[in-house]
Amino acid sequence: MPKQLIIQDWKFKEVEGQDWLPAKVPGCVHTDLLRHGVIAEPFYGTNEHDLQWIDKKNWEYEAVVDVTEELAAETHLELVFTGLDTYADVYVNGEHILAADNMFRSWRVDVKRHFQPGNNALRVVFRSPIQEDLPKLEKLGYPLPATNDQSELGGLGGHKLSIFARKAPYHYGWDWGPRFVTSGIWRPVMVEAWSGVRIHDLFIRQDEVNAAGARLTAIASIEADSALRGRFTVSAEGYQWSQELSLSAGRQSIELQLEMENPKLWWSRGLGDPHLYSFESVFECGEGSSASASVKTGLRSARLIRNKDEQGTSFYIELNGVPVFAKGANHIPNDSFLTEVTADRYRHEIASAAASNMNMLRVWGGGIYEEDVFYELCDEYGIMVWQDFMFACSMYPGDEAFLGNVRLEAEENVTRLRNHPSIVLWCGNNEIDTAWSHYDENAGWGWKKEYNAQQREQIWRDYEAVFHEILPEAVNACAPGAYYWPSSPMVSLSNDEHQHSNPNTTSGDIHYWGVWHNTEPFENYNRHVGRFMSEYGFQSFPEPRTVRTYAEESDMELESKVMLAHQKNGAGNRLIKSYMDQYMNEPKNFESFLYMSQMLQAEAMKTAIEAHRRRMPYCMGTLYWQMNDCWPVASWAGMDYLGRWKALQYTAKRSFRDVSLVIDREDDVLSVTLISDLSKDGDGVLDLRLLSFTGELLWNDSRLVSVSARQAHVVYQVDTEQLLGSHDESSVVLLVELKEQEHVIDSKTWFFVQDRGLKLSLPEITLTEIQESEGTVYRLETSTLARHVWLSSDIEGIFSDNDFDLIPGEPKDITFSRRSQGTDAFERERAGNVEILSMAHCIQPEAVTTS
């Protein structure tokens, strides 16, 4: 078995500097400088602007590697870097042994002849990614589009360099993230020593999987010092398979056929248990040499279904033969400084997705191929993953060195991640096909109009080389049977004007940004519904206590320097204000504005999600932008940088329920749609009550309804004039509940006018601890309608519901769970001090928060 030594005790400095400082590895220059007080907190105030000098410098790290006699006695001694960011030269005892140029690749060097027994000097020099790539731009002769590269902030004017580096694109800035172009050792460094034989990689290829049986192939990449004969054995949950094999000297691939009867299948959340098998492999030979490797994977069949129909072409994931409506969000890196993301932060995100009734996250192409723990958690929680390759919103060079680097990057990352059952789709890039729109002169983002005909053709040929050749070849070679989609969004790979997506296409996936970027009304979410909505979104601010981690009281106004520095989407703050003026009343102060921005965002996303779900099976996916943040900021996230759920996250939880009600109004007809993602039919009782804001019953109706498996169908319609009668539409609420044996499956409220038209009184809300709950369950009651009730606790955690409507005579019980460390992301606990507000508290000057 290989012996491993993790290299620790590093120091660092600027190459031209004199003073060495202790370094934390994994880490980066920015976090090391911060740890020693050399720089101010990067996320605070406008400090980002003052730290742009760091990426113009060269930095070096040093460590002493103690090679013991035990390590030195092994035949092979390798130095392994699992992540270098990005342009790095590595020296052992003064001798250059490696030049790295890709953050997304690992690097392995045979150092048997370089390392001596005892202490050895290891030096890693990081060249400035800015200084490294400026000559590439000059050599190319023209700039390439990179919309989100904040080169001006970095002091580079229009010189957008992110496209040349195989490095996380968001490090150069994005419309929700800061510009911190990092350097450093961002994944562990180790020495590996071995002799005889070792297994590099074990892949459980799933040739055919269903409930009756599984045909698998165990494929091991194995390396031997010399020719060997032995037995290769694989075992999993009582099964064991083996065969005699002969190995030649060197590296080779060996295969073993595996068959299982009635396997436990891996299911996404809501459809079944995400069962995982542990496969253990070992190669043993008579000479006493042996090698082993293990993987954990789930057995499932996952297919991208694109069948032509009367309306276009379908686009959905079929899991184990079952069509799945994808519910979730887009994931970005959890921090601008990647090594600050702990396993607990990853668990909090994935557990939050599962608790929000999601079944899919899209790993967006401007970040990183995530850490193993991210995918392990998705496997565990039953969260499907749409995995982008790391290309986004830019055109890329196509020189031989760049393409070769991309090929190796793709092969390594597909190989690393291919055993994860959660990954159901690989996608080439984010938004590049539609941004360039090569086959439609009048479509796209205007990029191609900046180039002459020869340049256009060259740029497109380079695009095709990466996304239509290299990446699909890597998927096919390294993960046979996995599905690849060239770009999101896209209609199909037709090589004509029908290839490029738009908000009205009836095939492929859609990114709909008419609401927000084009200032279209929320109601347009109902008009632009595609086969799979892979992006759409609306911004809000974090809650006040998060904002105060980067701003002083004097900064608490919409157009302050700090608020503008923490709004990366240009006119974003004014857009929030404009939409709020359209749909809501004026907040009484800036703190109320922060809360109401979340209420506004929640209403926008509720409209979108419900529009998508009620069009099932025409539409089979809704992934809003975005799940999380990489720093504290006004953004589209449903969960802020500190992991605090916004109103959107609670709204998503309600809107993504497996059995859900949707109320909508077209002209004078009010409809109730019943949606079920479950695989079994059922039935229930639909109760409808029209209530005054004081809780008086004004109208009611009830009927038995069928809950049809994996269907959305209208179960109730009524003329609004008949429903309202003579009652004032600005002073009534419709409460619709779906019950099964008196248990409420789903409950939705409906208002007949926009929030700004509601005649709200200031509610008196009471909070009562439920006896015997040990302070974890509370009952809320109100004197008059309380719209958008918001609970907050001085203990970090989540409530079972929040940002809800509370009606007199309709008490609501709420559970609190503390955010915890370890295997349980949330644990029931006393909520501590709870504060309550509602929309009325935010718009009425005399209102005070209830505690």
pLDDT of residue 827: 87
Sign of CA dihedral 626, 630, 633, 639: positive
Higher pLDDT, 820 or 474: 474
| 376 catalytic residue (yes or no) | no
pLDDT at residue number 289: 76
| Cβ neighbours, 10 Å, residue 578 | 12
**Mean pLDDT computed over 806-832:** 90
Q: HEC string of 520-583?
A: CCHHHHHCCCCCCEEECCCCECCCHHHHCCCCCHHHCCCCCHHHHHCCCCCCHHHHHHHHHHHH
Higher pLDDT, 354 or 820: 354
Q: Radius of gyration over alpha carbons of the chain, in Å?
A: 28
pLDDT confidence tier of residue 778, bands split at 50, 70 and 90 = very high
How much of the chain exceeds pLDDT 90, in percent?
95
In the predicted structure, residue 638 carries a pLDDT above the cut 90? yes
CA distance 461 to 483: 23
Confidence of residue 850 (pLDDT cuts 50, 70, 90): low
pLDDT of residue 248: 94
Tell me the C-alpha distance between 740 and 725, whole Å: 30
Q: Per-residue pLDDT averaged across 583-593, rounded?
A: 96
Instruction: Report whether pLDDT(846) > 80.
Output: no
DSSP secondary structure, 422-446, as one string: TEEEEE--BSHHHHH-TT-TT-SSS
pTM of the model: 0.96
Rounded Cα distance between 432 and 396, Å, is 10
Query: Is pLDDT above 90 for 341?
Result: yes
Sign of CA dihedral 431, 372, 341, 38: negative
Look at residue 845 in the predicted model and tell me its pLDDT: 78
Domains of the chain from N-terminus onward: 3-190 (2.60.120.260), 196-297 (2.60.40.10), 657-758 (2.60.40.10), 760-851 (2.60.40.10)
pLDDT in tens, 272-282: 999 999 999 99
| Mean pLDDT, residues 829-834 taken together | 87
What phi and psi values does residue 474 have, to the nearest 5 degrees?
-65, -40
Question: Given the structure tokens 């509610």, which residue do they identify?
Answer: 763
| Average pLDDT score over residue span 209-236 | 95
Average confidence score pLDDT of the chain: 96
What pLDDT was estimated at residue 849? 61
CA distances in angstroms from 68 to 10, 72, 168, listed in the order given: 19, 6, 37
Q: 522: buried, middle or exposed (CB in 10 Å: 19+, 13-18, 0-12)? A: buried
Q: How far apart are CA 550 and CA 43, in angstroms?
A: 6
Contact 544, 645 (CB under 8 A): no
pLDDT at residue 412 above 70? yes
Q: For residue 95, what are the β-bridge partners?
A: 92
**Would you say residue 288 has pLDDT above 80?**
no
pLDDT at 103: 98
> Rounded to an integer, what distance in angstroms lies between the CA atom of residue 265 and that of residue 272?
9
For residue 848, what pLDDT is reported? 59
3 state DSSP class of 707: strand
Beta pairing class for 326-331 and 312-313: unpaired
The confidence score (pLDDT) of residue 828 equals 86
Q: Tokens for 556, please give them.
A: 């608490």
* Distances 368 to 27, 103, 364 between C-alpha atoms, Å: 15, 9, 8
Measure CA of the first residue to CA of the last residue in the chain; give whole Å: 61
Structure tokens at 207: 């040739």
Per residue in 472-521, pLDDT (tens digit) is 999 999 999 999 999 999 999 999 999 999 999 999 999 999 999 999 99
Q: Which residues, 6+ apart, have CB-to-CB distance to 273 below 8 Å?
A: 264, 267, 382
- Residue 418: helix, strand or coil by DSSP? coil
Which is more confidently placed, 594 or 845?
A: 594
User: For position 380, what pLDDT does the model report?
Assistant: 98
For residue 1, what pLDDT is reported?
Answer: 67
pLDDT at 672 over 70: yes
* Structure-token pair, residue 129: 């990614």
Catalytic position from the list 78, 192, 380, 431? 431
The percentage of the chain sitting over the pLDDT mark of 70, rounded to a whole number, equals 99
Is 739 exposed, middle or buried, given 0-12, 13-18 or 19+ CB atoms closer than 10 A? middle
Instruction: Give dist(CA 819, CA 347) in Å, integer.
Output: 10
Contact of 657 with 746, CB cutoff 8 Å = yes
| DSSP secondary structure letters along 136-171 | HHHHH-S---BTT--TTTTT-TT---GGGSBS-GGG
pLDDT at 775 over 90: no
- Judged against a pLDDT cut of 90, whether residue 592 lies above it is answered with yes
* pLDDT surpasses 80 at 463: yes
pLDDT digits (tens, 9 = 90+) for 63-109: 999 999 999 999 999 999 999 999 999 999 999 999 999 999 999 99
119-161 tens-digit pLDDT: 999 999 999 999 999 999 999 999 999 999 999 999 999 999 9
What's the rounded Cα separation, in Å, for the pair 614 and 618? 9
167-201: pLDDT as tens digits:
999 999 999 999 999 999 999 999 999 999 999 99
